[in-house]
Chain A
Amino acid sequence: MQIGNGSPARPGNGFSVRDCALITLATGERAHSLKELREGLLRVPVGSLYHHFWGRLLRPQFDEPEYNNDFASWAWRGLHDRPLAERLSMVIPTDFDDLEGVRQEVLEIVHQRLDESELALWSAVDQGFCFLHGQVVVFSAGLVFDHPADIVSYLPSLSTGSVFFHFIDARRRTPQRNDDFSAWLAGFDGEFAPLIADLAGLDPYFSSLKELRHRVSAIFQRHFAGSA
């Protein structure tokens, strides 16, 4: 067993498909009111923010949730505070340089809600919020593709773990903050610039992993439609 954070995308070389699996852990922090959520947000490791915004995609979950992060979901399901849920759901993590920025944004929204609503301070919750975090284990899917055209037929069956690793995790892992496919395609001397541009237009935050796979696959198919 070794630890590594290397990108599978090696410009000019083959693309090694990786897969990953997530295991969820409790942080021990819980909130039973909005005030306690604020306190918890200040204390939990940044990995917990990652889990509640991104890691949740790999957890057992329903594909069409009302809100796109766990804080917003809890604001509605636990606190029955729809304005707060709506505001929290519009915290888009890709808008921030890092997760500390996301934490500050969530805190600001919670502060604002506490300031404007006495009720938010004292309202009883239906269910508490458990701050979680996760461990992601990365492993080889046993596939290497030499040319982008080769990957087209494989994409529809890409596992959701692979979608997560190459499209979600990559943004946290790579210096360019983009997906692994784009990093690989960039190594072909501009030949795939339009494909890279199309991939850049994908918004991974508002998609399930299956939806994201479908859209990535459609982009590749469209691009290589004439070359088959």
Chain B
Amino acid sequence: MEMLPAQFLQNFIDEYEAVAGRGSIEHLRQLAAPLKGARVVHVNSTREGGGVAEILQKLVPFKQALGLDARWEVIAGDRIFFACTKKLHNGLQGEAVAVGDEELRVYEDANAANAENLRSLLEEADFVFIHDPQPAALLAQCPRRRGKWVWRCHIDASRPHPPIWNYLRKWVMPYDASIFSLPEFSQALPHPQYIIAPSIDPLSEKNRDLPAAEVGELDPRFGFDSNLPLVLQVSRYDRFKDPLGVIEACRMARKLVPLQLVLAGGGAADDPEGDAVLREVQVATAGDPHIHVLLLPNSAHRTINALQRRADIVLQKSLREGFGLTVTEALWKGKPVIGGDTGGIRLQVFDHYTGFLVRTPDGAALRIRYLLHREDLRRQMGERARRFIWENYLLTRHLREYLTLMLGLLHGHQERLEAIEFS
């Protein structure tokens, strides 16, 4: 991504100011002032699709709007390269994958080939952010680098498959720093490991305000009962998201309070395990008019947005979770969330304030009943939830931490530093 036109950047930042608040943007301007003119390059492996691309589509223009010379480069690779990096990704998440020597050779060759195109840009940059494992080996191809190189791991690396981590670690070790999303994901590395939680973009299709009519269209479109409260879980059909536990919880709850459940997910087409879970869910819900199982395309951001706004309560009853951005999205829409007591859900859901943490279907059923009986509390929790996300988990906070990290990196291990001009 090249530098964008000044008028575009001004409009861009004005739009965020309207949502995030003037104080928040002013804070960013002051923090970014010492970094004005700094050459920053982000590198990942895809321009569109996936959470990393979504973040960079906004983070890079934002940095430009604040006066940094920020660029975004995407590496290329063939089918074997991406098959290999998918395995590296899954291995980092803990899956016991095996990657052959030939695949690793393709991985390393692809990084070397990409370095031919990017070397001068990367070596001249003041800061280089390499996202996830795909381009991690680029650093070794840039021996005359002058800036700070940071490896940004977006993956839940809390329990990586040891052979995969041993392989990746040798590429990551020479970096000046790495970034993990949660403290639990950090690893034994010989450089500073920063912790930056993910964020949501309040202006994306998935999160921006929608006309009430668009939300209202959901009932006829999907056959929801307009007279019944709606309980929603948005997630892939994955055992760790416990969709069967959600169904059990709702069936327990509706013995005492009428409700309908919507399970909305997608992306199972190329995932055999996901297909199996979806089939189990379909069998478990067959013939039940008040449980709606939706298989949505990955691009259905606006539909997900509308569903979250239509819901009375949102569930994310995960048994294991990374950060849980679906929780963040629901809280942003002012919905109380009943979430599994795990991972990043614990950072967002606070009993009686923004929702409830639960460990069993029974616990979820109890809280569903409680919240459906108390509309006033749902509204109160929803207001607190939206404010909590506004203060802590919007893109602006994410950017603030990137800028702080960049200033911090320039000064090594000092705990407190005072920023003046970047040069």
Chain A residues in the interface with B (C-beta under 8 A): 1-5, 19, 21-26, 28, 47, 50, 60-64, 77, 126-128, 130, 132-142, 157, 159, 161, 169, 173
B423 — nearest CB in chain A belongs to which residue? Answer: A1
| Most chain B CB within a 10 A radius of its CB, from A2, A5, A139, A159 | A139
How near does chain A come to B145, taking the closest CB pair, in angstroms? 20
Whether B193 contacts A28 by the Cβ 8 Å rule is yes
Whether, in the assembled complex, B405 has its beta carbon less than 8 Å from a beta carbon of chain A, the answer is yes
Whether, in the assembled complex, B407 has its beta carbon less than 8 Å from a beta carbon of chain A, the answer is yes
6 contacting pairs across A/B (C-beta < 8 A): A3-B418, A5-B418, A23-B408, A24-B196, A136-B416, A159-B23
Chain B residues in the interface with A (C-beta under 8 A): 23, 27, 30-31, 33-34, 180, 183-184, 186, 188, 192-197, 341, 346-347, 350, 353-354, 388, 391-393, 397, 400-401, 403-405, 407-408, 410-411, 414-423
How near does chain B come to A53, taking the closest CB pair, in angstroms? 14
Q: Which of A1, A23, A127, A161 contacts B27 (CB 8 A)?
A: A161
Whether A60 contacts B392 by the Cβ 8 Å rule is yes
Chain B interface mostly: mixed
Whether A26 contacts B400 by the Cβ 8 Å rule is no
Known A-B contacts A19-B27, A28-B186, A135-B414; A60 and B407 likewise in contact (beta carbons under 8 Å): no
How near does chain B come to A129, taking the closest CB pair, in angstroms? 9
B24 — nearest CB in chain A belongs to which residue? Answer: A159
- Residues of A contacting B422 in the complex (Cβ-Cβ under 8 angstroms): 1
In the complex, A140 Cα to B416 Cα: how many Å? 14
Whether A133 contacts B183 by the Cβ 8 Å rule is no
In the complex, A46 Cα to B416 Cα: how many Å? 13
Whether A137 contacts B419 by the Cβ 8 Å rule is yes
Whether A25 contacts B192 by the Cβ 8 Å rule is yes
- Residues of B contacting A28 in the complex (Cβ-Cβ under 8 angstroms): 186, 188, 193
- Residues of A contacting B197 in the complex (Cβ-Cβ under 8 angstroms): 60
Question: Which 9 pairs of residues, A with B, have the shortest CB-CB distance?
Answer: A130-B183, A60-B392, A26-B186, A135-B408, A23-B404, A4-B418, A21-B404, A24-B195, A26-B193
In the complex, A19 Cα to B23 Cα: how many Å? 12
Whether A135 contacts B419 by the Cβ 8 Å rule is no
Q: Which of B193, B354, B419 contacts A25 (CB 8 A)?
A: B193
Whether B31 contacts A137 by the Cβ 8 Å rule is yes
Known A-B contacts A23-B404, A135-B404, A136-B416; A159 and B193 likewise in contact (beta carbons under 8 Å): no
Q: Which of B341, B354, B393 contacts A60 (CB 8 A)?
A: B393
How near does chain B come to A140, taking the closest CB pair, in angstroms? 7
- Residues of B contacting A157 in the complex (Cβ-Cβ under 8 angstroms): 23
In the complex, A25 Cα to B405 Cα: how many Å? 10
In the complex, A142 Cα to B34 Cα: how many Å? 13
Whether A140 contacts B404 by the Cβ 8 Å rule is no
Q: Which of B27, B33, B346, B415 contacts A136 (CB 8 A)?
A: B415
Knowing that A23-B404, A28-B188, A60-B392 are A-B contacts, what are 9 other residue pairs whose CB atoms are under 8 Å apart, sorted by A's residue number? Answer: A1-B410, A2-B420, A21-B400, A25-B194, A60-B347, A62-B353, A135-B411, A136-B415, A139-B419
